[in-house]
Chain A
Amino acid sequence: MANIRAVQKALDALGIGKLEARPWRRSVVLEGRVRTWQDYIRAGYAAAGKGFKGVVNDIEVEGLEREREYIPPVRDNTLEGKQFDVIVIGGGVIGCAIARELTRWQLRVAVLEKEDDVAKQTSSRNNGMIHPGIAPARGTKKLHYNILGNRMYTQAARELGFALERCGSLILLEKSWYRLLAPLAKQQALQKGVDGVILLSRREVFRREPYATPAQRGGVLLPSAGVVAPYDVTVAFAENAVENGAQVFLHTMVQGFAMEHDRIARVLTNRGRIRAKVVVNAAGVWADKVAGWANDRFFTIHGRKGTIAILDKKTRAYQSGVLAMPRLGSKAHTKGGGINPTVEGNLLMGPNAVEVPWREDWSTGPEDMEFLLSRHLPLNTRLRPGDIITYFAGVRACTFEEDFVVEPSEYVANLVHAAGIQSPGLAAAPAIARDVAEMAVKLLSGVMEVRPNPRFNPVRRPNPRLTDLSLEERALLIRSNPAYGRIVCRCEAVSEGEIVAAVKSPVPALSVDAVKRRVRAGMGRCQGGFCTPAVLDILARETGVPPTRVVKGRPGSELVLAPTKEPGEGSADA
């Protein structure tokens, strides 16, 4: 039962200023002013769980610097007047998976992504876990989609040709008496639908993970847990969608909707106004903003940043699967991260969880590294700070209800939301995509006849990767195309042929970082020191632009500024 008085009471109890709660449709809207972002977050959570569908947190924070949201510096009319059956807003793993599901039907599908590539935000900035489903509470969408999605990954990996390693996850118990609760936890996990739960004694943990922290007092092994490279998965979904007729438009930002009664009539973008019969909101950290354009903002997204450190491949031999040791009783809305293998043969540690007011600020700070070094590194006694080769941050798109929003809009006739998708969103992606596609098709059925796509081919042929091949296969490939014979990235042993293939793939890699996400050039221990100059030349040659126009990622991230032997501006002697 929605109880506005309970919300108001909870807000008042915080003692952080005069805040007001008012009902709006089936949600609750919070208004007022607070001093800090932490207070804003506390207010949001205080209002959650009081029977409302969503918490819309419109509380202002005094003196808070507004976020410089990225807006692509492109303005043209290339999409003006175009018509699609479905527009998917957002080229993350959710949007791309939905697009691929939609191509099972004869539909004109477009993915609009404001960034320069797919998988640019949270979808390439997470730890790649395919969670087993033990963490979400019963009755949540998180649990439902996590359990289903985890199972669906086996087939998705086979069809789409991305690596999936079901290495299992081992949750270490911090205190001996947790062992008493373990059988209960196991029973609950099995009731939730988790595929396999095995209780391990302290000795059994050491047998499986000889370098596990001596602080462990046994553990819970979840064999269905796996890891993927999240950018590989996203690219695979996107490419298969394109192969089946969908279109991906990059540098294309949705900036509003033109509404006609209860329908989105046009999607307004920096590249023109587009007509769509159905719109899917998979806009990640900005999903609430997109909902707002359709006057359907019944939830607020807040960013929760996580920093992840990648360890040298030498460390892979020190651990067989995922290791984590959550602190029970802590209030953090995260499983707390741990140490994972990656499908490429590294270990990674993290992420931590920090509430942040900026949704696209992926900067890391010393305090994040200190947290990873003090909390995660000791889980494996063989690891050293010097094993870290790089680190980065991502921002989770959280609602205050801490659950996914996967549903057709209650008020807009042609809008489906796939919002608030945070951990375990990657694991849940295939299941969310299937449901969202069905919801979209159901809406379409009211306005058109929707037929299955007879030419849909679920199988993608990924570009060859030398490191996946036997020596014989490698030799054959090089003989057929000698560009595969020239190694460009020495740390990850990536050839020129692989880079050229990535540039020419269905969702082409047109920047140094996009190449890195496709083929790993620059992801190794020298972090691109040797290969960046070579990748730059290959990109310039293959895309026909001058080297000074080759970018690291977004427009404006040019790598070199001028040819030498021409006077540079700002010359010291000028």
Chain B
Amino acid sequence: MRKDWDVIVIGAGPAGLAAAAAACDAGAGVCLVERESRPGGILKQCIHDGFGLVRYGEKLTGPEYAWRDIEAVRRRNIPIWTETFLLELQRAGDGFVLTMQNREQAVFQLTARALVAATGCRERTARQIFIHGQRPAGIYTAGTVQHMINIQGYLPGRRCVILGSGDIGLIMARRLVLEGARVEGVYEIKPEPSGLTRNLVQCLQDYNIPLHLSTTVTRVLGRERVEGVVVCPADENLRPLPDRGRIVPCDTLVLSVGLIPENDILEPLGVELNPRTGGPVVDQRLAANVPGLFSCGNALHVNDLVDYVSESGEIAGRAAAAYALGRTQPSNHAELVPEGDILYAVPGRLDLAAGGKAVIYLRANRTIGNARLTISAGDKTVLRKRYPVLRPPEMERIVLDLADLPAGAGAVKLSLRGEENG
């Protein structure tokens, strides 16, 4: 088996699969490394539909969506090391050395000129949002519940409370009901839901599952198994009001309280992370500050739709191939500075030397109406866009042609201003 690669992609979820196919199409020798036994990432357990509307113009289930990318990788004869765990990642010369282990080859090393980190994200846990009480069985993140039900065929609980109105939480509320469990309610500390509108309708309203806004869980009751939770209203600063708590009996607490991009394995490389997104700071080629390192998918920032995960994978794969094959110019970076009502924007900088079109993903930091987005460099405004309404759960995607920027632009401003209660 070949040991030296132009591009190695870490993670064979939708981002990694798309990156590998794109790198291959750009002429690079590429392989994939995956710690699970099958490619497809978290899509394997997402058996609901709604994937692929943007990319394919049709509604697919998660496994169907993943299947298309897996087939694309197979057709290109791109090798995938499955159940293979990355032990060490080091820079060597102008490339990378990956030390890995699996059952068959024990411990082995591969080298690559360029690396695409498509390592996805993990879920925030009960302790990370300071839920107190003892530690009985029956407290799970939504993704764990999804794995138990959809992959393993186990029902984790019969009477469930869901904390957090993130998309996986909403989807699992419906899934639990379909499996015969009772969902007492979905509780969200914020005054507005975090999930997509379509999931609020299709998963909660259609199944008569109550959604309690500005309410959170502060305590778990029970010693061996969860026996109930204490729910409390929260004030506008998201602080629970303990005097107004009440007990909701249940045997399971399901958490959908946020996702954290996983970039821990990149830390030894000295990668610069954006504290807002949890992902590397990248330019429009999705190149990080470490030469030859590219990031995509939910490891870069948490996306609302898998279609954008795939798109970022393609961008990163193509750029990694160009880098590995020596087709890139020395870069000339301008910062992309978000202003106003922007929660975050990716990329964080633009490589003016590379040129081309930059796909910019952004989220508003609150629900706003009549919003105006402008991109400007110096005193020149290069792009204007209006939105009737923007909500933080829904990501916006805009395309900026770098040719529109004035020569020698130092910083590019990305500004969003809207009105409250849109």
Chain A interface (Cβ < 8 Å from any Cβ of B): 68, 70, 314, 361-366, 369, 386, 388-392, 471-472, 474-476, 478-479, 482-483, 485-487, 490, 493, 525-530, 532-533, 536-537, 547-548, 551-565, 567-572, 574
Of B104, B127, B143, B267, which is in contact with the most chain A CB atoms at under 10 Å from its CB?
A: B127
Of A528, A560, A569, which is in contact with the most chain B CB atoms at under 10 Å from its CB?
A: A560
A314 to B159, CA, bound (A): 37
Closest-CB distance, B345 to chain A (whole angstroms): 22
Of B103, B140, B152, which is in contact with the most chain A CB atoms at under 10 Å from its CB?
A: B103
A493 touches B132 (CB 8 A): no
Question: Residue on B with the closest CB to A313?
Answer: B264
Among B102-125, those with CB < 8 Å from A are 102-104, 106-107, 122-123, 125
Q: What band does the interface of chain B fall in when counting residues whose beta carbon is under 8 Å from A?
A: 35 or more
Question: Which single member of B151, B223, B267 contacts A314 (CB below 8 Å)?
Answer: B267
20 sampled A-B residue pairs with Cβ under 8 A: A314-B264, A314-B267, A369-B130, A389-B127, A390-B125, A471-B107, A474-B101, A485-B83, A486-B103, A487-B101, A490-B85, A526-B125, A529-B123, A552-B137, A564-B155, A564-B179, A568-B180, A570-B159, A570-B180, A574-B180
Chain B residues with CB under 8 Å of A572's CB are 177, 180-183
B122 touches A561 (CB 8 A): no
A465 to B135, CA, bound (A): 26
Question: Residue on A with the closest CB to B99?
Answer: A471
Given contacts A366-B132, A525-B122, contact A556 B225 (CB under 8 A): yes
Chain B residues with CB under 8 Å of A369's CB are 130, 132
Closest-CB distance, A556 to chain B (whole angstroms): 4
Q: Which label, helix, strand, loop or mixed, suits the secondary structure of the B interface?
A: mixed
Given contacts A485-B103, A529-B122, contact A568 B224 (CB under 8 A): no
Question: Which single member of A361, A390, A493 contacts B85 (CB below 8 Å)?
Answer: A493
Among B84-110, those with CB < 8 Å from A are 85, 87, 99, 101-104, 106-107
Closest-CB distance, A464 to chain B (whole angstroms): 14
Q: Does B406 make an interface contact (CB < 8 A)?
A: no
Q: Does B72 make an interface contact (CB < 8 A)?
A: no
A486 touches B83 (CB 8 A): yes
B136 touches A557 (CB 8 A): yes
Q: Does B328 make an interface contact (CB < 8 A)?
A: no
Chain A residues with CB under 8 Å of B128's CB are 386, 388-389
Given contacts A471-B107, A475-B107, A568-B158, contact A485 B122 (CB under 8 A): no
B101 touches A554 (CB 8 A): no
Closest-CB distance, B210 to chain A (whole angstroms): 12
Q: Does B354 make an interface contact (CB < 8 A)?
A: no
A462 to B183, CA, bound (A): 45
Closest-CB distance, A443 to chain B (whole angstroms): 37
Question: Which single member of A68, A525, A569 contacts B158 (CB below 8 Å)?
Answer: A569
Of A369, A552, A561, A567, which is in contact with the most chain B CB atoms at under 10 Å from its CB?
A: A561
A-B residue pairs, 7 tightest by C-beta: A568-B180, A485-B103, A560-B154, A556-B224, A552-B137, A482-B103, A475-B107
Known: A389-B125, A536-B154. 15 other contacts (CB 8 A): A364-B133, A485-B102, A486-B103, A529-B125, A533-B144, A555-B224, A559-B156, A560-B154, A561-B157, A563-B154, A564-B179, A565-B153, A568-B180, A572-B177, A572-B182
A526 to B104, CA, bound (A): 27
A552 to B140, CA, bound (A): 12
A551 to B144, CA, bound (A): 16
A554 to B134, CA, bound (A): 13
B154 touches A562 (CB 8 A): yes
A556 to B154, CA, bound (A): 17
Question: Residue on B with the closest CB to A548?
Answer: B154
A112 to B103, CA, bound (A): 40
A564 touches B154 (CB 8 A): yes
B122 touches A526 (CB 8 A): yes
Question: Residue on A with the closest CB to B102?
Answer: A485
A227 to B140, CA, bound (A): 31
Q: Does B196 make an interface contact (CB < 8 A)?
A: no
Question: Residue on B with the closest CB to A312?
Answer: B264
Q: Does B59 make an interface contact (CB < 8 A)?
A: no
B132 touches A487 (CB 8 A): no
